[in-house]
């Protein structure tokens, strides 16, 4: 059982929905980023999604693209991202960390080396958005064997024919992308998302978490109300981009987490 599995079992037992927060590793700089990540559990974050900076983040909107650029310009690398997770683990051995990014940096490092290093750093799961299920032998299957969850995205265009393929080797949770398009581009609507979540849950026992287009405590609450939890990324990253102090970012994240936990 991974930390992700344990967290969702704990939430289910207490009748709570999950709040997942995304931040880009190394944005605006390594030290501030580490401080922000360390602040998230106290703000009520159940699972941390840690963005891996990449030069060509095709699934991300301008907010997260710019965060990745800032991180890369500040010298952030895959190794420093793992170092950040290692530092976080010195104080927190229970909050799950999901590394979210693209395959190229992992491929360059070598899959076996990466998986061993990620496991040692305290990474619990991976979301690699540019590896489809047809490429599961590349990373998904080895990751599962190494004890990491491999979390897949389902989208509004994932039809009933495609869904079983998407779910086949997924573990930890299913990430449902609430809107068609890039991150941060529109607002999620519970009325639209609800039937899609129900459709996915009919095919899997995994928790279904909804992300993209959630910016307020109210939307976090409404989306968590029809799913197993909510993810917020771009809205948090925008606060960091504004230069808000860590305490301010933490306070904002707490309002979102409180919203999801009310559901």
**Residues 22-79 pLDDT 10s:** 999 999 999 999 999 999 999 999 999 999 999 999 888 899 999 999 999 999 999 9
Rounded CA separation 142/208 (Å): 23
pLDDT higher than threshold 70 for residue 183: no
Active-site residue (options: 5, 60, 221, 228): 60
pLDDT higher than threshold 80 for residue 181: no
Structure tokens at 232: 């917020």
pLDDT higher than threshold 80 for residue 186: no
Structure tokens at 214: 């959630």
Q: Where are the alpha helices (DSSP H) in the chain?
A: 3-13, 30-39, 62-73, 78-89, 103-109, 111-121, 140-145, 163-167, 190-201, 217-226, 234-241, 246-262
Phi and psi at 164, nearest 5°, equal -60, -35
Rounded CA separation 212/233 (Å): 7
60 classed as catalytic:
yes
Q: For position 147, what pLDDT does the model report? A: 98
Whether the Cβ atoms of residue 97 and residue 122 lie closer than 8 Å to each other: yes
Residue in the structure block whose two tokens are 């009919």: 202
Phi and psi at 112, nearest 5°, equal -65, -45
Average confidence (pLDDT) over 79-92: 98
Rounded CA separation 256/22 (Å): 12
pLDDT higher than threshold 70 for residue 184: no
Domains of the chain, by residue range, sit at 3-262
- Model-level pTM? 0.96
**Residues 105-163 pLDDT 10s:** 999 999 999 999 999 999 999 999 999 999 999 999 999 999 999 999 999 999 999 99
If DSSP codes are grouped into helix, strand and coil, which group holds residue 51?
Answer: strand
Q: Does domain 3-262 have CATH number 3.20.20.70?
A: yes
Q: For position 216, what pLDDT does the model report? A: 95
Active-site residue (options: 27, 49, 124, 196): 49
Report which of residues 152 and 189 the model is more confident about: 152
pLDDT higher than threshold 90 for residue 196: yes
């Amino acid at each position: 059982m991974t930390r992700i599995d344990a967290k969702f079992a704990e939430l289910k037992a207490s009748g709570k929905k999950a709040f997942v927060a995304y931040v880009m590793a190394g944005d605006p700089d390594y030290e501030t980023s580490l401080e922000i990540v360390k602040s998230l559990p106290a703000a009520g974050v159940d699972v941390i999604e840690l963005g891996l900076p990449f030069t060509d983040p095709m699934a991300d909107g301008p907010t997260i693209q710019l965060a990745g650029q800032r991180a890369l310009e500040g010298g952030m690398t895959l190794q420093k991202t793992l170092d950040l997770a290692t530092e976080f683990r010195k104080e927190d051995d229970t909050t799950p960390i999901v590394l979210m990014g693209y395959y190229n940096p992992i491929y360059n490092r070598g899959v076996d080396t990466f998986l061993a290093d990620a496991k040692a750093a305290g990474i619990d799961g991976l979301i690699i958005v540019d590896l489809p299920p047809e490429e599961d032998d590349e990373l998904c299957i080895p990751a599962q064997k190494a004890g990491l969850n491999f979390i897949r995205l389902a989208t509004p265009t994932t039809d009933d024919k495609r869904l079983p393929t998407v779910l086949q080797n997924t573990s930890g949770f299913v990430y449902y992308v609430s809107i068609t398009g890039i991150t941060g581009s529109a607002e999620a609507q519970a009325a639209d998302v609800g039937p899609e979540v129900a459709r996915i849950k009919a095919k899997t026992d995994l928790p279904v978490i909804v992300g993209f287009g959630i910016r307020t405590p109210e939307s976090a609450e409404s989306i968590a109300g029809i799913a197993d939890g909510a993810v917020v990324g771009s809205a948090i990253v925008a606060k960091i981009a504004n230069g808000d102090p860590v305490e301010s970012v933490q306070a904002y994240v707490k309002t979102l987490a409180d919203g999801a936990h009310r559901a």
